[in-house]
Amino acid sequence: MPSRSTHEWLEAAYAKAVERTKERQKRFESSSGAEVDATYGPEALSDWNYHEKLGFPGEYPFTRGVQPTMYRGRLWTMRQYAGFGDAEESNRRYKFLLDQGQTGLSVAFDLPTQIGYDSDDIHAEGEVGKVGVAITSLDDMETLTDGLPLDKVTTSMTINATGSILLAMYVAAAKKQGADLTKVGGTIQHDVLKEYIARGTYIFPPRPSLRLITDVFAWCKDNLPDWNTISISGYHMREAGCTAAQELAFTFADAIEYVDAAIAVGLTIDDIAPRLSFFWACHSNFLEEVAKFRASRRMWAKIVKERYGSDNPRSQSLRFHTQTGGATLTAQQPINNAIRTAYQAMSAVLGGTQSLHTNSFDEALALPTESSVELALRTQQIIGYETGVADVIDPLAGSYFIEELTDRVEKEAEAYLQRIEDMGGALTCIEQGFQQREIQESAFRLQRMAETKERIVVGVNQFQTEALEVPPILRVSPEISQRQVDRVKALKGRRDQAAVDRALADIKVAAAGTDNMVPLFIAAVEAYATIGEICNVLRDEWGEYQEVLTI
């Protein structure tokens, strides 16, 4: 056989074959619209250096994974995001999930808690306990964590604008349990920049928000060494419509903003980087997602080494949580979502995630029921224990296409990141609505593609059925919300009001100065000051963020 390149084969033999059998699409493309060839060959790896591009697992640039043993030592943490109603109800759900073999907790808070309103505030009406658990004071946090050993179980809390206050409550609850704070582990999301871009639960303007974040970095370094101080999230921007490469670029731009803010207040890269964690989405383009996870590790390792000059492997290694794509779930033929979720979970595992949340099939309809959550958890257990994919580290490495795609996602993301840098960085871009506009464009393009059937969504624009299956859904009963409101009112009546007032006055003084706020938050929540009271002091002092409207 004369030796031919893949390109030559595509031009001749393949082109001829296509004349006989037409391709089923005019163009095949990645999530960002880049064209995908019919096949990839050894040329994809021609000037490719294994040690430079991949390295061994646990070694720079960490493309293959952050630990040398990966899932052969321990599987990823199976962490289902849960929480609804009041603290008592959610505490029951957590105990159920731990009994089912879940290995870490992940707390969903209701919107008033996320935006700094007490359950009995007028702004909270209709929202108490709806999308997560209502936590107004330490009293609720104690109920939430009752019977859960906080020095053993790790807890991830999806909380941003009020992250430092919820962290204070968690620490106060752990102290009450008598836990050794050096053994208390977990994560707060605390990534406010992406709230301005996509998720929307901001309170304060960017500068004071960044200060709360660096206060948490500094306080945890000395007092809560095992805590992941931030979970820098691409997830919500992806859910809002951006592409895989944009997800990486926007997230790393935010990360750079946080690291720069920390360095500006005197911390070093190695003080903070080992405790940074990341949060990616996993959507349905299976191989592109695997490539994205691998590219993300390599990109971050390079940023930490080249931009910040750190040679500490702990600082360079990007640890991440993954959640399957909520926006890929359909209300039509909801059971199909279980299959989508399983494939997405598989690509997260092939991409080397440290922890994983699998969505439940009924989440395009309402909050998931106990049985749908159980199925989602079983999906992870089947991948981990039955499929064998966890037995070999980075098993797709060396595939022509996977390596080509990993390089391509990285290149696209780097170009985007450069654009953001050239415009002045993440924060300046947010203030100008850049990321918001880019995400909207991409979301609109995806919508149009579904409407013209360039993009097939099974059960929605193709293979529809008339019969509407309506599985049972979870509802938070109004009595539970009312019970929470009553509990908050009762607490406000029985606590030592003078102690609360003193603690709030201290917060007001510190907010106008530069002292670390975290110890003051702990003192305030220990006096049973509420989240709304603390946030109102800060609102008075700092003002509130105004959304940049980009329509």
Question: Cβ closer to another protein: 28 or 444?
Answer: 444
Q: Report if residue 482 touches another protein, rule: CB under 8 A.
A: no
Cα dihedral value 276, 64, 395, 379, nearest 10: 0
Q: Find the binder of another protein among 8, 23, 52, 125 (CB under 8 A).
A: 125
Q: Find the binder of another protein among 184, 282, 318, 367 (CB under 8 A).
A: 367
Q: Report if residue 115 touches another protein, rule: CB under 8 A.
A: yes
Minimum Å gap between C-beta 198 and another protein is 7
Amino acid at 207: R
- CB-CB contact of 328 with 283 (8 Å): yes
Q: Report if residue 458 touches another protein, rule: CB under 8 A.
A: no
Q: Find the binder of another protein among 1, 467, 498, 549 (CB under 8 A).
A: 549
Question: Cβ closer to another protein: 485 or 527?
Answer: 485
Kindly write down the DSSP assignment for every residue of 465-513, as one continuous string: -SS------B---HHHHHHHHHHHHHHHHHS-HHHHHHHHHHHHHHHHS
Q: Find the binder of another protein among 134, 135, 198, 538 (CB under 8 A).
A: 198
Stretch that binds another protein, among 183-191, 359-367, 376-384, 398-406 (CB under 8 A): 359-367
- CB-CB contact of 279 with 321 (8 Å): yes
In degrees and rounded to multiples of 5, residue 106 shows phi and psi of -140, 115
d(CA 523, CA 521): 5
Question: Cβ closer to another protein: 114 or 344?
Answer: 114
CA distances from 209 to 114, 276, 391, 439 (A): 14, 17, 42, 23
Count of residues that bind another protein according to CB under 8 A:
43
Nearest to 359 by CA among 79, 67, 91: 79
Q: Report if residue 161 touches another protein, rule: CB under 8 A.
A: no
Q: Report if residue 412 touches another protein, rule: CB under 8 A.
A: no
Cα dihedral value 517, 522, 528, 532, nearest 10: 30
Question: Cβ closer to another protein: 154 or 369?
Answer: 369
Minimum Å gap between C-beta 453 and another protein is 10
Q: Report if residue 225 touches another protein, rule: CB under 8 A.
A: no
Question: Cβ closer to another protein: 327 or 389?
Answer: 327
In degrees and rounded to multiples of 5, residue 355 shows phi and psi of -150, 160
Residues that bind another protein in the complex, under the rule CB under 8 A = 111-112, 114-115, 123, 125-127, 130-131, 195, 198-201, 239-241, 327, 329-332, 364-367, 440, 443-444, 447, 450-451, 457, 460-461, 468, 470, 473, 476, 547, 549, 551
